[in-house]
Each structure stands twice: as structure tokens, then as C-alpha cells.
Amino acid sequence: MEGGFVHGHDGVRAYWTRQFALVSSRVTPMELSEENGLLKIKVHQVVHDLDGRLLADEMVFHFFRLRDDKIAEFVIGEKGK
């Protein structure tokens, strides 16, 4: 939502803490594919503000790159990027 990049456990924790203080979201995985070590997950994302007003209802993609069985990179993209 803010864009940009964060690094490490503390950066990720701070990012998600800020996001969930502002919105309530539900992300439902729809499709999963893998190519050259990059996991691509198509998700249905529904986001409401904390008063329940709909902010977004869309399909987006989550991209994960793993290293040593841990998430090394996570990128949120649109429309099959």
C-alpha cells in the first residue's frame, strides 16, 4: 500500500503493523505457478477501511523468491507482471 521496500524481520513486522492499523484485508489464493525458483500466486484481494468501507476488490499477484526454504523476496504486482 505504501510502496517501497523493507528489509529483515523488523522491517517486515513494522510494515505489516502499520498496514493493519489502517485497513482490514482478506487475500484468497486463486492460482499458483513456479518458474525458475519464482513462485507466482494470483490472489483475490479485498480491502476495507476500519469503518468497513470497501477500498479495493481486485486480482493481484504475489511473487515470492525463496532462499534456503525461507522467503528472501516478496513483491506485490498487478495483472500478471
Dihedral sign from CA coordinates of 80, 5, 55, 27 = positive
Cβ atoms of residues 2 and 22 within 8 Å? no
Read off the pLDDT of residues 40-80 as tens digits, 9 standing for 90 and up.
999 999 999 999 999 999 999 999 988 898 888 888 876 54
Q: What is the value of pTM for the model shown?
A: 0.76
Domain 8-78: CATH class, spelled out: alpha beta
CA-CA distance, 16 to 9, in Å (whole number)?
11
pLDDT at 4: 72
